[in-house]
Amino acid sequence: MAAVPASIAAGDIFPDTAQVTQNRLVIGGCDVNDLAKTYGTPLYVFDEASVLNRARAYRSALETSYGGKSTVCFASKAYCAPWVLRLIAQEGLGLDVVSGGELHTAKVAGFPPDRVYFHGNNKEAAEIEQALRQGIGRFVVDSLDEIELLSSVAQRKGKRAAILLRVGPGVDPHATHAHIATGQVDSKFGLGIHAGAAEQGVRAALAKKSLDLRGFHFHIGSQLHEIEPYKQAIDVVFDFAVAMRDQAGLDLREMSPGGGFGVRYTTEDPTVKAADMIAEVGTYTASAAKARGFALPEVTIEPGRSMIANTAVALYRVGSIKKIPGVRTYVSVDGGMADNIRPTAYGSKYSSVLANRVGDGPETTVAIAGKYCESGDVLIRDAKLPMPRVDDLVAIPTAGAYHLSMASNYNMALKPAVVVVAGGKATLVRRRETFADLLAAEDPA
Ligand SMILES: Cc1ncc(COP(=O)(O)O)c(C=O)c1O
CATH number for 31: 2.40.37.10
- CB of 305 within 6 A of ligand 1: the answer is yes
CB 35 within 8 A of CB 368: no
Our count of domains for the chain comes to: 2
Query: Which residue is closest in CA terms to ligand 1's atom 5?
Result: 259
- CB of 303 within 6 A of ligand 1: the answer is yes
24/144 same-domain check:
no
Please give the pLDDT value at position 181.
Answer: 41
Which of 58, 77, 174 to mutate for ligand 1's pocket (most ligand atoms within 8 Å of CB)? 77
Query: Can you list the residues of the chain whose pLDDT is less than 70?
Result: 1-2, 175-184
CATH number for 269: 3.20.20.10
Question: How far is residue 364's CA from residue 347's CA, in Å, rounded to a whole number?
Answer: 21
Please give the pLDDT value at position 177.
Answer: 36
Query: Which residue is closest in CA terms to ligand 1's atom 16?
Result: 219
Please give the pLDDT value at position 186.
Answer: 80
Query: Please, what is the angle between helix 274-291 and helix 48-66, to 10°?
Result: 20
Please give the pLDDT value at position 178.
Answer: 38
Q: Tell me whether residue 322 is exposed, middle or buried, using C-beta atoms within 10 angstroms of its C-beta: 0 to 12, 13 to 18, 19 or more.
A: exposed
74/210 same-domain check:
yes
131/228 same-domain check:
yes
- Domain holding 374, by residue range, is 6-47+310-439
66/206 same-domain check:
yes
27/126 same-domain check:
no
Which of 54, 222, 403 to mutate for ligand 1's pocket (most ligand atoms within 8 Å of CB)? 222
Q: What confidence tens digit (pLDDT) does each residue in 175-193 have?
A: 543 333 444 678 899 999 9
Distance 100 CA to ligand 1 centre (A): 17
140/218 same-domain check:
yes
Positions marked catalytic = 373
In the listed set 259, 283, 307, which residue is the last one of a domain according to the structure? 307
Question: How far is residue 272's CA from residue 159's CA, in Å, rounded to a whole number?
Answer: 43
CB 46 within 8 A of CB 27: no
In the listed set 255, 283, 307, which residue is the last one of a domain according to the structure? 307
Please give the pLDDT value at position 173.
Answer: 83
353/274 same-domain check:
no
Q: Which atom of ligand 1 is nearest to the CA of 302?
A: 4
41/179 same-domain check:
no
* b/e per residue 366-382 (b: at least 16 CB within 10 A): bbbbbbbeeeebbbbee
Please give the pLDDT value at position 245.
Answer: 98
In the listed set 254, 275, 307, which residue is the last one of a domain according to the structure? 307
Please give the pLDDT value at position 182.
Answer: 40
205/276 same-domain check:
yes
Decide if 132 is inside a domain: yes
262/353 same-domain check:
no
Decide if 419 is inside a domain: yes
Q: Which atom of ligand 1 is nearest to the CA of 305?
A: 9
Beta-carbon contacts of 208 under 8 Å, excluding residues fewer than 6 positions away, are 147, 151
293/322 same-domain check:
no
Q: What confidence tens digit (pLDDT) does each residue in 212-246 have?
A: 999 999 999 999 999 999 999 999 999 999 999 99
Does pTM surpass 0.85?
yes
Please give the pLDDT value at position 176.
Answer: 40
